[in-house]
Amino acid sequence: MNFSLTVGLPHYLLVGAMLFCFGLYGVFSKKNAIAVLMSLELMLNAVNINLIAFNRFLWNNPVEGTKHLLLNGHVSAIFVIVVAAAEVAVGLALVISIYRSRLSANVDELDWLKW
């Protein structure tokens, strides 16, 4: 491997993979529901980093016959951001509703069902 200071695709993918793993770890180890939702966001942002890095480094091609660039990855990232926001909004609303009935936001205490 070439250890020069040039930042290239592998570095971005590494950051993405790290974020994804932190997020995955956080989802299954955090007690507080809000922290779990934050970990989820980390995972989705890892996806965004991947999409944009791939677009920038590998598929930065112009649309045929024009000078505009193909921005598939960027557009995908916008969709991911928006949908993730909707998902987290519903998640927070559920946390509030559960908090109201139990006065706690700890995932550990969600033991009324078996899992």
Partner 1 sequence: MNAQYALLAPEITLAVVGLVIFSVGLLIPKGSRQGMVPLTVLGILVTMAVAGAQFFSNVNGSFLDGMYLADNYASFFKLLFLAAALLVVLSSTEYVQKLPAHRGEFYGLILFAALGMMVMAGSGDLITLYVGLELMTISFYVLVAYLSEDGKSGEAGLKYLILGAVSSAVLLYGVSFLYGLTGSTVITEIAAKLGSGMSPATILALLLVLAGFSFKISLIPFHMWAPDIYEGAPVPITAYLAVASKAAGFAALVRVMLVGLKAQALDGNVAVALAVLIGLTMIAGNLMAIPQKNFKRMMAYSSISQAGYIAVGLLAGTPDGVKGVLFYSMIYVFANMGAFTVATVVSTAQGSDEIKDFAGLARRSPLAAVVMTVSLLSMAGIPPLAGFVGKFYLFKALLDQGWVPLVFIAFVMSMVSVYYYLLVTRTMYMEEGADLPKIGVSGATKFTLLVTMLVTLFLGIYPSPLAKMATIAAASLFR
Partner 2 sequence: MLNNFGAIGILLIFAIALPVILVTVPKLLAPRKYSKEKGTVYECGMETRGETWVQFKTNYFLYALVFVAFDVETVFLYPWAVQFRKLGTFAFIEMFIFIAILLVGFWYAWKEGALEWK
Nearer to partner 1, 1 or 113 (CB): 113
Going along 1-115, which residue ranges are E strands? none
Cα Rg of the chain, angstroms: 19
Asked if 58 touches partner 2 (CB under 8 A), the answer is: no
The DSSP output letter for 7 is -
Asked if 27 touches partner 1 (CB under 8 A), the answer is: yes
Neighbour-count burial of 52, counting CB atoms closer than 10 A to its CB (0-12 exposed, 13-18 middle, 19+ buried):
middle
By a kind-dependent CB cut-off of 5 to 8 A, residue 81 interacts, out of partner 2, partner 1, none, with: partner 2
Which residues contribute to the site for partner 2 (CB under 8 A)? 4-6, 75, 78, 81-82, 85-86, 88-89, 92-93, 96, 99-100
